[in-house]
Structures are given as C-alpha cells and as structure tokens.
Amino acid sequence: MPPSVEWTGDAVRVIDQRRLPGALVLRDLRTVEDVVEAIATLAVRGANVIGTTGALGVVLGLRAGRPLDEVATLVARTRPTAVNLQVAVDAVAAAARAGRDPLAAALGLLEADREQCRRIGEAGRVELAGRPRLLTHCNTGRLATTGIGTALGIVHAKAQAGEEVHVLATETRPLRQGARLTAWELHRSGVDVRVLPDGAAAAALLGGLVDAVVVGADRIASNGDTANKVGTLALALAARHAGVPFYVAATLNAVDLGLVDGASIPIETRAAAEVLDGPGDVDVPVWNPAFDVTPGDLVTGIVTEAGVLRPPFAVSLPSAVRAPGRQRGSDDPGDVRDPRPGRGRAPPRPGAGRRAEPRVPHRAGARAHVRVAGAGGRPGRGARHAGPGRRGVPGGPGR
C-alpha cells in the first residue's frame, strides 16, 4: 500500500479514503485550501494522518506567501476533536517563528509518527500475548497514520511476529470505516478479519468471542477520558460487563493535559443525511455525533509509544507526556504506572468505577460549543456537542 501521506516536493500526496475499497486513488493537494477540503470531507481521516497532513498544509500556505497565523488557524479549526491536528500545526508554526525550516518540522512529524506506531505495536503485542481474538472499532491502521497504526498497529505487530491473531471489526456506522477501511486493510495484509454490525458487538463480547477490545483515540483528557469514534463508549460498557479488558492505543500527542476530564472535549456533529441515507427515509431531526467520550474508569490500559499506561491515569498520563526525551524512548516498551507501592499493574475488575453519563442534547435551539451549519441544541452532561441537524443539512467534519 502506498503511504497514507507523503511530500512530493510541491504537493501533499494522500490516499483518497472516500474511494476505498472500490478504488485506490492518490490525490495531490497543492494548496492549503486543498488540504482543508480533504480533511473536512474525509478524503483524509484518522487522527494521526490528519495531523501530519495538516502540518504539510501549513507548509503549502507559507510557500504561497500567506501569513502564518492565518494559515495555522485555517488548518487547525478544521477538526476540533482530534488534538493531533492542533499539536502538528503548533509544531510547524513554532518552527517558522523560530526561523527554522517548517518543512523539516513537518517531515519530522511524519517520521516520528512511524516510529511511535512501531513502538505502540510492539508494546501492545507484548501486553496482549495469549489474547488472539481482538475486537476493534473504526479504522486505526496504515490509512489513519503514517506508520503501521495504533490499535491496528498491535494487530499488524502480532501478525508480523507470526502470532495468532483474529480481528472482529465493527462496521462503524454511519460511514462504515470498519467495513470499508479496516476490513480492506487487514484483508490486504493477510490478517484474519470478520466484520460485524455495531449492534452485534455486545453479543460477541458477552458470548465469549473476544479476548480484548482495542480502539484508537482522537483526544485523551488527563484523567484518561477518551474521545473516539462514536460507538466506542458502548463497547467499553459492554466489555466491562463481560469482564473483557478494554484498551486504548494512541500516540502521546493525543493526550490533552489541559483538560481535567472529558467534559470539555468538543464533539463534532455530522450531517443528518449520513444517517437518513435510504430511499424514502422520513425527514426528521437527527443527532449524529462523530465521537463519544469513554470514561477513563472503563479503560484497562492506554498503549502508547512510552509503553502501557495504567490507572490512575491522572498520574501515569502526565508522567509519560512530561518525561524528558520521550520522543526518543528506548527499544524496550514498558509500563508507565502509578509510582505508589502496589498500584498500577492489575486491570480494573469488572463492574468497578463510576457510571458513564449519557452525552445527549437536552433541547434544540441553544448555543453549541462546535458551530456547524444548520446545527442547534446544547450538550447534555459530559462532552460538548453541536446539536442535531436535519436531513440534507451539512454538519461539521467527522472522523
């Protein structure tokens, strides 16, 4: 498979993920507006590759003589949930302000992402030894990163090591990233994969068909609350009830230490037409969030390039993010855990932790944190949402 994103010398070449699996189409993005459009329309999707593509988009804008602040703002606001984009834009902008080469900074992010994914894959492979049956959600592999992936990086690492691995991939409604992208990627790589409807995942978990759940992340608060593709929260709740470990796999640049918990994570809302997509569907209001927030209490561990982070995440996440030289790391993935004696290794017991709060809009017409065309409504308790739209009214960009 060609790289998900690469620099050609005068353009950003990406795989148009909207065309998969029917056709593998490469697009050359030659302006910052091309980059913004590709991200907003899901030609480019996946938190890590959004970040690296956005970084190169800033370079294109600067080469066209656009002001740095204008270009950085234009790119960063395209996806408010995935913090990787803001991190990447900030890195390139900082290089430009310091008189360094912004292109070198952007290309450095691509190389760093490849290495971080490799380390995540190896750490997850070790962590999930003896657990061959993995359930995953959305797409978190080579299409979503510049490396082997985060959650799917663990799958690829197992396969490359000759270990047994079988994947249950949720369809991931409404845009079917699991059925379209994850199934295509794994089948192409020779990995055993089976697609199941989103609504069948709980039955698979309670029926003993899954050894572990592994998902990606678009933003992780300092307490471990994790924003990911909508449907992740339901998987975490079902996994807890079934006693199946639930892991998040993400690079540390997905961690937002500025957020105490997930209540302040902005949640993008997509168009109603993505849900009411069948002939004759009734034109009624739709709430179509692109993401939900899983409480950190439901997460067994967070697999990162620094190793597997253990609860309490309010201790292990800041420790990993602030570790000196964390971009370099060592060749041996390990645990980052609570330093207090006797804490940090064991996964949470089934049923432990606080109850997840439903994240739903309470009423229409109130101000939303994320503004999208045609959206109203205000968030319920928890993450901030744009409100429900109507069929055919475009929403904000989703994953």
Helix (H) or strand (E) holding 27: strand 26-29
End-to-end CA distance of the chain: 21
Distances, alpha carbon 273 to alpha carbons 21, 175, 181, 392, 395, in Å: 21, 11, 21, 5, 9
Residues contacting 192, CB < 8 A, separation 6+ = 165, 166, 167, 186
- For residue 21, say if its preceding peptide bond is cis, omega within 30 degrees of 0: yes
**Burial class of residue 46, CB neighbours in 10 A (0-12, 13-18, 19+):** buried
Assigned token pair, 153: 């990086």
Number of other residues whose CB lies within 10 A of the CB of residue 393: 16
The reply to whether 101 belongs to the active site is: no
One of 113, 218, 292, 297 is an active-site residue; which one?
218
User: How far apart (Å, rounded) are the C-alpha atoms in residues 73 and 353?
Assistant: 39
The residues that are catalytic are 218
